[in-house]
Amino acid sequence: MSDGAAERRALAGRLVQEGALTTPAWRAAVESVPRELFLNPGVFLYEGGRWRPATALGSDPAEWLRIAYTPDTLTTQLDGHLTADQVSEPVAGLPTSSSTTPALVVSMIESLDVQDGHQVLEIGTGTGYSAALMCHRLGEDNVTTVEVDPEVASRADAALEAAGFSTWTVTGDGLLGHPRRAPYDRVIATCAVRRIPYTWVRQTKPGGIILATVGSWANGAGLAKVTVNEDGTAEGRIIGRASFMQARSQAATPVAGDLGARTAYADSERQTKVSPLMLDEWMPAFLAQVAAPGAQLVRAKTNGGAELLYLFDPERESWAEFTPDGDDWQVRQGGPVTLWDDVEEALLAWQEEGSPDITAVRLHITDRCHTYWIGGQQIATRTSSHWIGDEAALRWQHRLTNRP
């Protein structure tokens, strides 16, 4: 029976060919860390619209290795609790923990530009596979990994031990970082965030790098890479597209119920300057989230089958409703935040710059706000109140002002 070494070499070879794996030290990590150790008690494979459970115990060993080394993301938990050993038939559910596709994990850790001796903080331990790769490269004492789900964290910790790494696996909300072991040279998040929390900047050494997926829509997130400055600010750019499950406390509750009631009282109505259908594309979707954090794009149908399109920000009781008008679109807006005005302004600025790819976006973070640019154009400046509600923002600013 194979011990998995051939599969690991084949995986490394594939990642090299794809351009995800370029450095000998990371190649050695991929060739050494057994992914199958991190998949206990099993995985869910998406087939025919449902999740089929597959476990090591219930599979032929060769089949289990084949599953472990597929290039795909392997879902290990559904709906915040369900694992593959708890069901025998395919089930419905939403993935809440996984072993991310090795191509994405490896290309991300390559982008971290780590050096020997660096201290790394990972947010989103998941199975522990990515933490194990980093332990192999840097040593177990140099890796701290935070997982919000206690059961997931405990399984990852056991898998890391089994792989020979006594890592610092911390159970907690990674949006707070892990001050006890700060400062770090590198921070990497393998769950998506609406914005990079300032606390990560505070916990990173000057010159250190933070890498995180920013955005909460499935098709429209960007991988941000920022460097922390001596003055406690951070700056960098979006280095590519990325797709990760959302940090748990930031996962949006889908807008449901009577949409007509939500849009009953409009404050304004006008023709749009650009089509809202642009938001189906990745870059405009990314810009929409930067310009209107917290907004969700919602599609629905009337009883007669007519398509309906909205932006909703339930927390701020703000919305925009789009209606086709010949070749144009009408927008009705309501609530304290004119969502579409903000999104449209960002889209127009992007078009003025020649509609470049997501990698043209630069970003600057201070303790008070996040500013995004494309070329010479400022796309959006967002203070804390754009994300966390005015009352919470005031408390937050009060804490910052009065911090030791």
Q: Which amino acid is at 77?
A: Q
- The yes or no reply on residue 157 touching ligand SAM (CB under 6 A) is no
Site for ligand SAM in 57-96 (CB under 6 A): 96
- The yes or no reply on residue 245 touching ligand SAM (CB under 6 A) is yes
- The yes or no reply on residue 43 touching ligand SAM (CB under 6 A) is no
| Host H or E run for residue 372 | strand 369-374
Compare residues 6 and 94 and give the one whose CB is closer to ligand SAM: 94
The total of other beta-carbon atoms located within 10 Å of residue 240's CB is 17
Give least dist CB 169 to ligand SAM, A. Answer: 11
Interior/surface letters 339-377, b for 16+ CB within 10 angstroms, e for the rest = bbbbbbbbbebbeeeeeeebebbbbbbbbebbbbbbeee
- The yes or no reply on residue 36 touching ligand SAM (CB under 6 A) is no
- The yes or no reply on residue 173 touching ligand SAM (CB under 6 A) is yes
Of residues 75, 100, 144, 216, which one binds ligand SAM by CB under 6 A? 100
- The yes or no reply on residue 175 touching ligand SAM (CB under 6 A) is yes
Compare residues 37 and 339 and give the one whose CB is closer to ligand SAM: 37
Contact present, 128 and 38 (Cβ < 8 Å): yes
- How many residues touch ligand SAM under the rule CB under 6 A: the total is 27
DSSP state of 286: H
| Host H or E run for residue 132 | helix 129-138
Checking DSSP bridges between strand 318-325 and strand 328-334, what pairing results, if any?
Answer: antiparallel
Distance of CA 279 to the CA centre of its chain: 19
Q: Choose the stretch contacting ligand SAM; rule: CB under 6 A; options: 167-175, 201-209, 224-232, 308-316.
A: 167-175
Of residues 119, 190, 203, 296, which one binds ligand SAM by CB under 6 A? 190
- The yes or no reply on residue 148 touching ligand SAM (CB under 6 A) is yes
DSSP 3-state of 212: strand
Of residues 11, 21, 84, 105, which one binds ligand SAM by CB under 6 A? 105
Closest among 260, 208, 267 to 234, alpha carbons compared:
208
Of residues 15, 33, 67, 152, which one binds ligand SAM by CB under 6 A? 152
Q: Which amino acid is at 332?
A: R
- The yes or no reply on residue 181 touching ligand SAM (CB under 6 A) is no
Give least dist CB 130 to ligand SAM, A. Answer: 4
Compare residues 148 and 279 and give the one whose CB is closer to ligand SAM: 148
Torsion (CA) 305, 306, 311, 312 in degrees, nearest 10: -50
**The residue to which tokens 């089929």 are assigned:** 52
Of residues 75, 107, 127, 142, which one binds ligand SAM by CB under 6 A? 127
Of residues 75, 83, 99, 169, which one binds ligand SAM by CB under 6 A? 99
Of residues 21, 78, 82, 123, which one binds ligand SAM by CB under 6 A? 123
Contacts of 30 (CB under 8 A, 6+ apart): 8, 11, 12, 15, 21, 102, 106, 133
Of residues 55, 75, 83, 97, which one binds ligand SAM by CB under 6 A? 97
CA atoms within 13 Å, Cβ hemisphere of 62 = 1
Compare residues 33 and 337 and give the one whose CB is closer to ligand SAM: 33
Contact present, 368 and 396 (Cβ < 8 Å): no
Of residues 130, 204, 263, 333, which one binds ligand SAM by CB under 6 A? 130
Closest among 247, 149, 148, 232 to 195, alpha carbons compared:
247
Contact present, 17 and 125 (Cβ < 8 Å): no
Compare residues 23 and 199 and give the one whose CB is closer to ligand SAM: 199
DSSP state of 33: S
- The yes or no reply on residue 335 touching ligand SAM (CB under 6 A) is no
Give least dist CB 346 to ligand SAM, A. Answer: 27
- The yes or no reply on residue 147 touching ligand SAM (CB under 6 A) is yes
- The yes or no reply on residue 126 touching ligand SAM (CB under 6 A) is yes
Tokens of 171: 């159970």
Contacts with ligand SAM, residue ranges (CB under 6 A):
96-100, 105, 123-124, 126-127, 129-130, 146-149, 152, 173-175, 190-191, 244-245, 247-249
